[in-house]
Structure 1
């Protein structure tokens, strides 16, 4: 009876194991082992995608800050990568910026999965339950076997045996050239220092080149169309090459003719410019008044200041009387001209054709009438009695 009861108990245990394992059995290591951390009913579950798990197995420890806080539960293959499910204690804090790393506890120790922040960064926040750490945030340290195999490749089939030859050849190359090498190292140090001082400008230049490349990338259809049209444009230029050559030759002849013309007319041009000097000077003299007149002309008969201050709106009522009678014109607009005062002597203004000869040619000057009364010329009486009282020396008897 005892043996029968033991057999029944063993059958029940096997059925229970098959049911709990989903009708599949991957060995005892696939089942939760007694005493494993983070496998309770209240444990928090995370999912990790790893490219290479190495010798990592289920029930391997999960560590946060070198402290075991959970265990690896199940591992499966999904799209040529390992999908690992881990569970940690409910009071364990997994950083939100955690990265998963498969490592080895010691040289001959077991494998573990570390959930720590990246090197050089502080842990921030807490990773929500059920989150997945993607493949880009996971890595695997080389195992002891991989390290030993790589070392054996370097020692046996690598270039480690040639280090002596390399050092010997290096010493032979530098022998007697210490000064040149030192100078070279000094210059390299200066160049590196200059580059380090200009790293902000270099970064700005690279950023500008990046923006320029982005602009070119955005204008790719336009550039492609332009490059497609360039061969056709070159064919047109090639077909028009004789005409372009003839035009350039004609242009050279025209340039020679223009040069000869300028050389021959140099004196005349200088004379004309000198003759224009009075006109230009007169315009410069009346420049301020001309500006005032031009500013007053569009707003006649009012000034712009009066319009800005006196007229409040876009129009105004006004009653104007224009007097165009001959007496009014003579006393107003025509005053100072031959039409306003017939027979008036006109003084030429600067710029008039006869201005240069007005005061220099006495034959063209008007005759001034003699005054009606002429004063006598005063003079002192002579000291001797030979001179008469009229101020005129009397002629002698023998005079002509």
Structure 2
């Protein structure tokens, strides 16, 4: 007897514990798996679908594909303000990867079900992996019978359905007798809508361009505001300067009238001048074909192009020339035969002349002509010691070659030149030798070489 009471107490305590621990999760009989539900086996494939409104959908509701029951709803939960429906299907059922879910009513007064299908106009593709979730944007809910009847009642009772007859009667009265005008209006509206449809891309492009322009204006808002603030003072300045601008425009008009009269009066002279200048322009145009050859010849004057082609092999031509434009040289060459010419003019030695080495540019080495003996009475003039003159040495540090090839090409020192009575020639601003007396014959010129 005692054992029976203990057993009953244990059963009651266990039942209380079971009820206490499972009271929070128990949501009625539908929250438990019902016998005979499709797709509730251990090998069933489980999926999730997010739905914004599940209406009266309950657990154990059927899951249908092409109006065939392939599974059942397992559990309903709330996730981020929408329902998360967990359902399972039979293991041999393939759920397409592009499947969409919808909650509908099985019959007019029947229960709700979850339907899986593909989007309209698309064929099933791929396979949805078990455990995957159909997103919220791929689910929908059909209106229930109650919602349909409520909407119909709103339209019939308070939606203006009773005034449809009046609307139709008034429209018929307006159309009666104006059928041609309404037909023309409809035709014009059709043409207008067709034109708008044909220009749809251009309209979209204009809207996009306006959007970019608005964005540019928005980015330059500070600059536009600053410009709008600075424009009124500028307009005030223009208003103040309006008399000056008006006077300037009047003066410009006067100048235009004067210029017009001048052009009209000098038209004949201008045409005559243009006609007179025509021969000069024509001659210049005639020379035009030979102008390139002239410019080419001017670059390498005095050589011709044929000489350049035959004499030069490469890009450069080495030329060393000495141009002697001194007055004595011009007197004996270019000015000879004129009033400025002089046949026996003493030449300045040029490079290549035998006495060129005796020529100096240094005025300190030209020597000093001694004064005449009677220039000073006290003390009597004394000649410089020979050693002093001899110590001057040759003018240039050059050892003359021996033997001398041509007469008159000897190289003398300053003392030897003084002993022979010959003074070195200097072309500078200092006098090299005194002028000979009028009755003295000119001294023979030293032999010279031709200068380039």
Fold conserved between structures, TM > 0.5: yes
Question: Quick check: 1:74–1:84 contact (8 Å CA) kept in 2?
Answer: yes
- Alpha-carbon distance in 2 for matches of 1:185, 1:167: 18
| Structure 1 gap ranges (5+) | 327-400
1:124 deviates by 2.4
- Alpha-carbon distance in 1 for matches of 2:99, 2:172: 49
Equivalences for 1:46-61 in 2 at 5 Å?
46-61=47-62
- Alpha-carbon distance in 2 for matches of 1:86, 1:281: 107
- Alpha-carbon distance in 2 for matches of 1:85, 1:296: 101
Q: Does 1:261 align with 2:262?
A: no
Corresponding residue for residue 384 of structure 1: none
- Alpha-carbon distance in 2 for matches of 1:180, 1:319: 101
Question: Quick check: 1:38–1:71 contact (8 Å CA) kept in 2?
Answer: yes
| Structure 2 gap ranges (5+) | 326-452
1:83 deviates by 1.7
Q: Secondary structure at the match of 1:70?
A: strand
Corresponding residue for residue 62 of structure 1: 63
Q: Secondary structure at the match of 2:33?
A: coil
- Alpha-carbon distance in 2 for matches of 1:299, 1:136: 88
Corresponding residue for residue 344 of structure 1: none
- Alpha-carbon distance in 2 for matches of 1:281, 1:110: 112
- Alpha-carbon distance in 2 for matches of 1:44, 1:209: 50
Equivalences for 1:229-240 in 2 at 5 Å?
229-240=226-237
Question: Quick check: 1:18–1:24 contact (8 Å CA) kept in 2?
Answer: no
- Alpha-carbon distance in 1 for matches of 2:148, 2:10: 51
Distance 1:216 1:106, change over 3 A: same
1:273 deviates by 4.7
- Alpha-carbon distance in 2 for matches of 1:182, 1:221: 47
- Alpha-carbon distance in 1 for matches of 2:261, 2:296: 46
Corresponding residue for residue 360 of structure 2: none
Q: Secondary structure at the match of 2:63?
A: strand
1:68 deviates by 2.0
Distance 1:325 1:205, change over 3 A: farther
Equivalences, count: 310
Q: TM-score, normalised by structure 2?
A: 0.58
Question: Quick check: 1:48–1:133 contact (8 Å CA) kept in 2?
Answer: yes
Q: TM-score, normalised by structure 1?
A: 0.65
Distance 1:10 1:173, change over 3 A: farther
- Alpha-carbon distance in 2 for matches of 1:250, 1:118: 79
1:293 deviates by 4.0
- Alpha-carbon distance in 1 for matches of 2:257, 2:18: 118
Corresponding residue for residue 389 of structure 2: none
Residues 6-15 or 177-186, more deviating? 6-15
1:169 deviates by 0.9
Residues 218-274 of structure 1: CA distance to partner in whole angstroms, max 9, x if unpaired?
A: x35532123212222222323312344234313321321222112220221553254
Q: Secondary structure at the match of 1:187?
A: helix
Corresponding residue for residue 122 of structure 2: 121
- Alpha-carbon distance in 2 for matches of 1:203, 1:299: 66
Larger radius of gyration: 2
- Alpha-carbon distance in 2 for matches of 1:101, 1:42: 25
Question: Quick check: 1:18–1:25 contact (8 Å CA) kept in 2?
Answer: no
Corresponding residue for residue 207 of structure 1: 205
